[in-house]
Homo-oligomer: A and B are copies of this chain.
């Protein structure tokens, strides 16, 4: 737990979170389970592909922030894995030829390029399904059945038809035809923010947050999710392809409608700053035992360069 002390930089702190998540992910699909070998490979291939592990970090950080110490760490880590399972499945399905048709993800060939389309679809289905097993398991690791069930129901809502999948559909239907900022916001709120809201709120539930705190944490999640997405749009235009692990200007080439495209670069940067402030205000109002890391994460997401 060394890196978790208050003097560690947020970068070290997130790095430590990511390592903890990585270790938990390694045990999240027990070897004893009778899973066809090739399916297991396909699931682990994308789970291991890494990324910033921001969503799991938010589960862990929110749990700590509410209670002020690393309580119920096992339960929080289990739910942190669940959110990464959901995020990973969504990337696998998004990359499919019928969807975005991407050959690379985080610098590695996409799942279907390695395992074929059918296996990629099934590996995504299996990851999505197993996320709910992980949430159910949290109840054996320090939270009540009521809390685990509330987390499970909320995951189904925020990852589902009126949440992340709904955002993905809106994105697909609106491609190249989006003219209003409101439509773009709908897409990103659901495609990106909803899972971040889930991460923050589920961690907070594990930490024992009250209803008012959950509401404020939802505002935090919504705003940093949106800021995160707009920052992604900005980095696609001005970022460093090596740091990003993917080509820049891909949005322009794909004629994707983005925030910079719709409202300009300066306005987009101002919007990121304003959303970040709103997120931080919500955290301060929530009167958490230790708000510092959540405040730092909000700033980190704006200042990151990849």
Contacts and interface: CB of A to CB of B under 8 A. Distances in A.
A281 B134 CA distance: 35
Contact of A133 (B35, B146, B156): B156
A136 B165 contact: no
Contact of A125 (B139, B165, B170): B165
Interface string A26-63: 00010001111011100100000000000000000000
A160 B130 contact: yes
A39 B161 contact: yes
Nearest to A35: B161
Interface residues of A, number: 55
A117 interface: yes
A214 interface: no
A132 B161 contact: no
A169 interface: yes
A159 interface: yes
Contacts of A293: none
A98 to B, nearest CB: 4
A152 B155 contact: no
Interface of A: 29, 33-36, 38-40, 43, 89, 93, 96, 98-99, 116-119, 121-122, 124-126, 128-133, 135-137, 139, 144-146, 148-150, 152-153, 155-157, 159-162, 165-166, 168-170, 172-173
Given A122-B172, A129-B156, A144-B145, 11 more contacts: A33-B162, A35-B162, A43-B161, A93-B125, A96-B118, A119-B169, A119-B172, A121-B121, A130-B160, A135-B152, A136-B149
